[in-house]
Chain A
């Protein structure tokens, strides 16, 4: 099948190329030539299936969620299902559980993305300049990226846990006995959020640094040199030359990480199970559906999560003028 398809493509292009000689490509859609029409049909034949399936597996469920969110519907009581308009949204938005989850999620997002950006930038600058263990360094930074998030969560959870972990012992030793070696990280809200953030930061900083490294490679070298010759210090060069000329790459990296951080689920699920008020928005949606069988409420939270993530994208694109077409190499 694939072979035939390949053949068809080649021969069509052959014809297309031949036509090209007598009929140079025109821009604008005033008149669609035979060739353009054939190319468009072939384009959709090849690209269509992937596109349609992609939309089917996402657009259909989200529309379905929108529909289900208008019902009072519990799996355990299917006969009690009733249409209640937007009451579920009212219930959620007036519940402190929801606002706590939003607060926790926003805090985690801001902390992790900020630290990842600083660490990722430092890492990218080292990787950009380094010569001796260049290959080794580029390989090891890929390890956190490729590790399963659940594995990272377990490893850090065991590391922080006073019963099995080493972190308390190390902190106890470093601070000369000031830090209690039996400190319960998962016993309080702030410390539990810190533990979650550490796992999240460890896992995603390398990806951030690779995106920034690619942006760093685009900074014109002459500009750097000129600034250096003029006697600019390292930080002046960083602030006035490097960062402004890679602004686009920075915005794209921040946007992607922010949206990703907002849907955080794996780390809190494994590390705290949502205790100490560490339930995130995604976790709340999961709990309503899976733990409490509240399909209606769960769907409504899902829709709200979707809207919040879209809002983040909107803010980045409109307010910070993040040019997403950069992402495509146009």
Chain B
């Protein structure tokens, strides 16, 4: 705020103008894929950034048209697998980070260091042995077969981010509540949970983005989308998008891929719009001294 007062109106306007190219830069490919998804097939080669004619035929095609058997199960798998992997990862990481932030025990540093090491680990390196192992034990192309390796993405990130969050929490308030006559359970529910919940929630969003984005595991450990009920079939949207080419009946998958891309982009954009501030603090909490 002190800084704000020192900046002249002219500088403010100038900075305001600078933000326009930045906003255009971030939205350019999003607008483009949206435009492609709305273009009728005949207009695809016209090279216009904005569609001249627009219709929803690509959305119909992938949601209930001839390509729905490719896209819908993948969307179902993506949502289900990512939610479970996020939930399991964050739940385990919450108790872990709680212990790191509140208790004094030997090995804290070891846990945080291994979380960092796993976080920067090249996931492609473990795809080959997992591919081999999963085929032997029958986990290839199944939900657990993706959820288990996803823990290697969710756990380190969640442990790291949550312990940074939990460090900033004024835990003395719990004892203060108990001094004021609250039982331990009341103190936990009324003080600890509300204090910890925002951090846990933010961590869950960031973790969800990470698994939602995964392509390496899904493209190597799954082969089909499945039919919702059978044990086999766990391909998520990113891998399904890559497979649209060739395996599908239609000639030009450009429009269909674009429409599918738009559909999976909508939920993350909504999350970003709603929880912008929290996501920024979560992304940087683990990285730099808070």
Are B261 and A154 interface neighbours, CB within 8 A?
Answer: yes
A274 contacts which chain B residues (CB < 8 A)? none
State A286–B284 Cα separation when bound (angstroms): 32
Using known A-B contacts A140-B23, A262-B122, A263-B124, determine if residue A130 contacts B289 with beta carbons closer than 8 Å: no
Are B95 and A302 interface neighbours, CB within 8 A?
Answer: no
Within the complex, the shortest CB–CB distance from B109 to chain A, in Å, comes to: 9
Q: B residues 1-41 with Cβ under 8 Å of A?
A: 2-4, 7, 11-13, 15-16, 18-19, 22-23, 25-30, 32-33, 36
Say if the beta carbon of A91 comes within 8 Å of chain B: no
Say if the beta carbon of B83 comes within 8 Å of chain A: no
Are A211 and B33 interface neighbours, CB within 8 A?
Answer: no
Say if the beta carbon of A320 comes within 8 Å of chain B: no
Are A62 and B276 interface neighbours, CB within 8 A?
Answer: no
Are A136 and B23 interface neighbours, CB within 8 A?
Answer: yes
Say if the beta carbon of A309 comes within 8 Å of chain B: yes
Say if the beta carbon of A17 comes within 8 Å of chain B: yes
Chain A: interface residue total (CB-CB under 8 A): 116
Are A305 and B124 interface neighbours, CB within 8 A?
Answer: yes
Say if the beta carbon of B234 comes within 8 Å of chain A: no
B33 contacts which chain A residues (CB < 8 A)? 151, 154-155, 158
Say if the beta carbon of A3 comes within 8 Å of chain B: yes
Across the interface, name the chain A residue whose C-beta is closest to B20.
A133
Say if the beta carbon of A61 comes within 8 Å of chain B: yes
Are A130 and B124 interface neighbours, CB within 8 A?
Answer: no
Say if the beta carbon of A256 comes within 8 Å of chain B: yes
A289 contacts which chain B residues (CB < 8 A)? 127-128, 131, 220
Q: Which of B102, B163, B287 contacts A211 (CB 8 A)?
A: B287
- Comparing A106-114, A161-169, A186-194, A236-244, the segment that makes contact with chain B is A161-169
Say if the beta carbon of A231 comes within 8 Å of chain B: no
Across the interface, name the chain B residue whose C-beta is closest to A294.
B128
Are B242 and A53 interface neighbours, CB within 8 A?
Answer: no
Q: Which of B111, B174, B189 contacts A51 (CB 8 A)?
A: B111
Say if the beta carbon of A93 comes within 8 Å of chain B: no
Give the secondary structure class of B's interface.
helix
A144 contacts which chain B residues (CB < 8 A)? 26
B152 contacts which chain A residues (CB < 8 A)? 54, 57-58
Say if the beta carbon of A117 comes within 8 Å of chain B: no
Are B114 and A47 interface neighbours, CB within 8 A?
Answer: no
B7 contacts which chain A residues (CB < 8 A)? 129, 131
Are B288 and A131 interface neighbours, CB within 8 A?
Answer: no
Say if the beta carbon of A92 comes within 8 Å of chain B: no
Are A130 and B288 interface neighbours, CB within 8 A?
Answer: no
Q: Which of A142, A259, A305, A328 contacts B112 (CB 8 A)?
A: A328
Are B15 and A54 interface neighbours, CB within 8 A?
Answer: no
Across the interface, name the chain B residue whose C-beta is closest to A57.
B152
Are B280 and A221 interface neighbours, CB within 8 A?
Answer: no
Are A166 and B47 interface neighbours, CB within 8 A?
Answer: yes
Are B276 and A139 interface neighbours, CB within 8 A?
Answer: yes
Are A147 and B268 interface neighbours, CB within 8 A?
Answer: yes
State A42–B106 Cα separation when bound (angstroms): 11
State A57–B146 Cα separation when bound (angstroms): 11
Say if the beta carbon of B98 comes within 8 Å of chain A: yes
Are B120 and A50 interface neighbours, CB within 8 A?
Answer: no
Say if the beta carbon of B108 comes within 8 Å of chain A: yes
Q: How many A-B residue pairs have CB under 8 A?
A: 350
State A49–B96 Cα separation when bound (angstroms): 8
Are A40 and B15 interface neighbours, CB within 8 A?
Answer: no
Are B114 and A206 interface neighbours, CB within 8 A?
Answer: no
Say if the beta carbon of B92 comes within 8 Å of chain A: yes
Are B30 and A155 interface neighbours, CB within 8 A?
Answer: yes
Q: Which of B104, B241, B288 contacts A215 (CB 8 A)?
A: B288
Q: A residues 150-196 with Cβ under 8 Å of B?
A: 150-152, 154-156, 158-159, 163-166, 168-170, 181
State A304–B276 Cα separation when bound (angstroms): 38
Q: A residues 49-71 with Cβ under 8 Å of B?
A: 49-51, 53-55, 57-58, 61-62, 64-65, 68
Using known A-B contacts A166-B49, A305-B124, determine if residue A39 contacts B3 with beta carbons closer than 8 Å: no
Say if the beta carbon of B169 comes within 8 Å of chain A: no
State A259–B119 Cα separation when bound (angstroms): 10
State A265–B132 Cα separation when bound (angstroms): 20
Say if the beta carbon of A23 comes within 8 Å of chain B: no
State A216–B159 Cα separation when bound (angstroms): 25
State A305–B276 Cα separation when bound (angstroms): 35
Say if the beta carbon of B283 comes within 8 Å of chain A: yes
Say if the beta carbon of B148 comes within 8 Å of chain A: yes
A220 contacts which chain B residues (CB < 8 A)? none
Are B92 and A329 interface neighbours, CB within 8 A?
Answer: no
Say if the beta carbon of A266 comes within 8 Å of chain B: yes
Across the interface, name the chain B residue whose C-beta is closest to A328.
B112
Are B213 and A302 interface neighbours, CB within 8 A?
Answer: no
Q: Which of A3, A39, A140, A302 contacts B125 (CB 8 A)?
A: A302
Q: Which 9 A-B pairs have the closest CB atoms?
A: A43-B105, A10-B184, A61-B126, A46-B99, A50-B96, A155-B29, A64-B129, A214-B284, A40-B105
List, sorted by A's number, 11 A–B pairs whose CB atoms are closer than 8 Å: A6-B185, A39-B104, A47-B95, A54-B118, A146-B271, A155-B33, A159-B32, A181-B47, A286-B219, A328-B112, A328-B164
Known: A151-B238, A221-B3. 12 other contacts (CB 8 A): A7-B185, A10-B174, A10-B187, A25-B104, A64-B132, A129-B11, A130-B15, A133-B23, A259-B120, A289-B131, A290-B131, A299-B129
